[in-house]
Amino acid sequence: MRSYLSAFRLRRKMELQYRGAMLGGIICQVVFGLILIALYRALYAGKPQTLPLQHVVTYVWLQQAFFRMLLASDPDLLDKIRSGSIAYDLCRPLNLYGFYYARIMAQKITGSLMRAVPMLLFASLLPEGWGISLPASLPALLLSLLALMLGLLCVSALENITMAFTMRTLDPRGIQAMLNLLMMTLSGNILPLTLFPDSWQKVITLLPYAQLLDAPIRLYTGDVPVGEAWRILLIQAVWIAVLIALGVWLWNRHQKRIVLQGG
Amino acid sequence: MSYIHVDHLQKTFIIRKKRETGRLLREKETVFALRDLSFVIEKGELVGYIGPNGAGKSTTVKILSGILTPDSGNVSVDGRIPWESRREHVRNIGVVFGQRMQLWWDVPILDSYGLLKEIYRIPDADYRQRLKELTEALQLENLLRTPLRQLSLGQRMRAELCGSLLHRPGLLFLDEPTIGLDAVSKLALRDFLRWENREHGTTILLTTHDMEDIAALCSRVMVLGHGQKLYDGDLPALLEKYDTSRTVTVRFEDPETMPALPEEASLSREGDLVKVVYAPGQIPTPEILEKLQQAGTIREMTIQPQNIDVLIAAMYREMDL
């Protein structure tokens, strides 16, 4: 266990070094957030929706603040597979799935916290209708934090599955492009899932992508009341179990038939 | 039972080739990386493993270190089958792949070592002692807090080697550890390897294209070609077989001196130096020296054996590699 923790800490330390990337990321995400909010304001001005505008604005800010959690394939890990440096990791007395899981999680937590804290501060200073609003209640906030953690476990498991596939296809770009499209659409990053037609939402919220950020945001805004939070947490837990089991199975399968590139 | 036992090992790879006509489907071709390879290595040996590119050297190392699974054949290292009991097996081995990196690029090397300490569960006291020993021997003391990306190639290789030895492996695989190093770094690295082998009885399998590495370090050498073992024995005996020519360079007191030599020796003049190339098998060296002394007073003389790389190239040619 200590070796996995140690890998986590080292990856966190590495992520903390990229402060320039952090600043660039924050600016990019803030601009994106403002554009999206302007867009929804225009939409609401033309045709008001049943969902309050302030919910949508809060949704957008939270999505942008934690963007790094979604789209952040660890370039180091993928590069290891592409170049064959993974050979070193294969001759360690470790479970590779766990080792990479720890690394992926460290990168996602550190990367998104570094960006989220200043961004949420900024968004809370904006006027009503542009800025983020407070959580629906204290229990709602606590439950959304719990859901965010479960979402993190979920997205790390998803990414580890991408890694396992990369072991087989030897190049991540194809599967990544596909998965990123799914990720951005189905996680609510492009269009808040709360704005999808109700019948669509019934299906989409059951998918793993909705467990990452959509689930915690719905708890934060009170879109899902505290009394029904157990339903969301249960779906998340089921997905975590399924995705980890699938990932471990794929890793074990592919590790046996591995080919190392680059001589 | 020997320490390392390799028995009729075979491994094939499938290479996918693009067809010339630019069709979407690719041709598959099966390539033998290893065919019927067998050898035995005893504990504490320092064995050189040579062969041209693509001979199957790295594949052997990867199978022995539990990364790849062979198609057929048996391997036992310290009584274990590497790819079956991978985690127990790798606990006792160290590997250096000369062209790859195990240390983290963006963090100080000491932090990477800290991670390795946890991975191999090295006790604190043992870790400190070993780290001190290795950093002294590899002259890394001043580099420990430097991120890997800021080290030179030679420094990096020394740092990588230190990382591979922290957990005191009984068996060390070195895959081209001196690739791209300057003369000073190479010599330092060789000294270190000799020391590690002598001091700790570490068994070392050294893969390299640098024949000086082998000559300096290994009493035993295995030659691999086309996935098969072609030679296994000591280096001098191997070289003798292919060592077909010597060059004697002489500077006479009188620069006009031209010695009379048997026809089989070739004679040439470069400035005031006389160069004689001959085959020791045809003309014994003492006979050449005698003839040269008879020709006039010698001011300076050197005898050079054939360049070791030329020898190996001749050997690969003869073995049809």
Interface of A with B (CB under 8 A): 2-3, 5-7, 10, 13-14, 17, 76, 83-85, 87-88, 90-94, 256-260, 262-263
What CA–CA distance (Å, rounded) separates A245 from B237? 57
| Tens of pLDDT, residues B39-65 | 999 999 999 998 888 888 888 999 999
* Residues whose CB falls within 8 Å of the CB of residue A238, separated by 6 or more in sequence, listed in order: none
| Tens of pLDDT, residues B134-189 | 998 888 889 999 998 898 888 888 899 999 999 999 999 998 888 878 888 888 88
Provide CATH code, domain B4-240. 3.40.50.300
Residue A142, domain extent: 2-256
Contact B67 A76 (CB under 8 A): no
Asked if residue A216 belongs to a domain, the reply is yes
Closest residue on chain A to B99 (Cα): A85
- Residue numbers in B near A262 (CB within 8 A): 99-100
pLDDT exceeds cutoff 70 at B24: no
Contact B69 A256 (CB under 8 A): yes
Indicate the domain borders of chain B: 4-240, 245-305
Asked if residue A263 belongs to a domain, the reply is no
Q: pLDDT averaged over chain A?
A: 87
Interface contacts A/B by beta carbons within 8 Å: 75
pLDDT of residue B296: 85
| Tens of pLDDT, residues B75-110 | 999 999 998 888 889 999 999 988 788 888 888 999
Asked if residue A46 belongs to a domain, the reply is yes
Of A151, A155, A160, the C-alpha closest to A235 is A151
pLDDT exceeds cutoff 90 at B294: no
Asked if residue A241 belongs to a domain, the reply is yes
The total of structural domains in chain A comes to: 1
Q: Which of A92, A99, A257 to mutate against chain B (most B CBs within 10 Å)?
A: A92
Taking the whole predicted model, whether its pTM rises above 0.95 is answered as no
The amino acid present at A150, given as its one-letter code, is: L
Nearest to B67 among A7, A90, A263 (CB): A90
What is the DSSP track for B69-102? --SEEEEEETTB-TTTSHHHHHTTEEEEETTS--
Q: Where are the alpha helices (DSSP H) in A47-172?
A: 53-65, 67-70, 75-83, 86-90, 96-125, 138-169
Asked if residue A10 belongs to a domain, the reply is yes
Asked if residue A240 belongs to a domain, the reply is yes
Q: Which of B11, B80, B102 to mutate against chain A (most A CBs within 10 Å)?
A: B102
Q: At the topology level of CATH, where does B245-305 sit?
A: Alpha-Beta Plaits (3.30.70)
Q: How far is A108 from chain B (nearest CA, A)?
A: 17
Phi then psi dihedrals of residue A132, to 5 deg: -80, 145
Q: How far is A215 from chain B (nearest CA, A)?
A: 35
